[in-house]
Homo-oligomer: A and B are copies of this chain.
Amino acid sequence: MKLYHSTASPYVRKVLMTAWECGLASRIELLPASGTPAAPNRDMAARNPLMKIPTLIRDDGSELYDSIVICEYFDSLAGGTLFPPAGEARWQVLRRHALVDGLLDSALAVRYETVARPEPLRWQEWIDGHSAKIDNALDALEREVDALPAAFQIDQIALVAALGYLDFRFASRPWRPGRPKLERWFARLSERESAKRTVPT
């Protein structure tokens, strides 16, 4: 299999952590790809009309996206346990995954606004609104983190990728103050092989 990727993308990291957790990492060839919404990677258009990473090319040549679809596919290949079957555990894992992905969507929105967009065109209300979403999500995760199931599932994989992304791109806006439970959880889970193999660069 081949994966269009960037070592900086938290959505790609989620997929690669899943691959490591599923024992599939050695079967994946990485194809470097970059791009932003304002400068999409048009070379990818034949593979993914949205021109986004991660995009997976399977061994039969067909494509899969987006990140959670690839993760569920990997989990299925591995006969895995990263996605609970239908029922309350599944809804809670998928809800938390959506919370973390929404946090990341807002983090990327702030990043594009403050780095990619020309300075005279930046809009403070946009940055403030997305920053409120990020802060609310982190506060909610601080309240939930000690009650997370012992199983390391797709919600927790996403959370490692998200907190790692904040460390990577938002070091000047630290997320740890006031969130000691999340800080301890992240320090512990960052020791997993899947996390150590995929630190953003």
Binding site for B on A (CB under 8 A): 36-40, 42, 45, 49-52, 63-66, 69, 72-73, 76, 86-87, 91, 94-95, 98-99, 101-103, 106, 109, 117-118, 120-123, 125-126, 128-130, 132-133, 136-137, 139-140
User: Is the pair A109, B37 in contact by a Cβ cutoff of 8 Å?
Assistant: yes
Known contacts A65-B95, A72-B94: does B129 contact A123 (CB below 8 Å)?
Answer: no
User: Is the pair A66, B140 in contact by a Cβ cutoff of 8 Å?
Assistant: no
User: Is the pair B133, A123 in contact by a Cβ cutoff of 8 Å?
Assistant: no
Contact sample, A vs B, 7 pairs, CB 8 Å cutoff: A37-B126, A37-B133, A49-B133, A51-B136, A69-B94, A69-B98, A72-B86
> Which of A73, A95, A109 lies at the interface centre, i.e. has the most chain B CB atoms within 10 A of its CB?
A95
Q: Which residues of B contact A129 (CB under 8 A)?
A: 36-40
Q: Which of B37, B101, B132, B140 contacts A130 (CB 8 A)?
A: B37
User: Is the pair B95, A137 in contact by a Cβ cutoff of 8 Å?
Assistant: no
CB distance from A103 to the nearest CB of B (A): 7
CB distance from A179 to the nearest CB of B (A): 13
Copies of the protein in its oligomer:
2
CB distance from A52 to the nearest CB of B (A): 7
Q: Which residues of B contact A40 (CB under 8 A)?
A: 129, 132-133
User: Is the pair A140, B36 in contact by a Cβ cutoff of 8 Å?
Assistant: no
CB distance from A37 to the nearest CB of B (A): 5
CB distance from A65 to the nearest CB of B (A): 6
CB distance from A162 to the nearest CB of B (A): 13
Q: Once the chains are docked, how many angstroms separate the CA of A126 from the CA of B136?
A: 27
Q: Which residues of B contact A118 (CB under 8 A)?
A: 123
> Which of A49, A95, A122, A136 lies at the interface centre, i.e. has the most chain B CB atoms within 10 A of its CB?
A49
Q: Once the chains are docked, how many angstroms separate the CA of A176 from the CA of B87?
A: 40
User: Is the pair B109, A45 in contact by a Cβ cutoff of 8 Å?
Assistant: no
User: Is the pair A38, B123 in contact by a Cβ cutoff of 8 Å?
Assistant: yes
Q: Which residues of B contact A42 (CB under 8 A)?
A: 132
CB distance from A175 to the nearest CB of B (A): 14
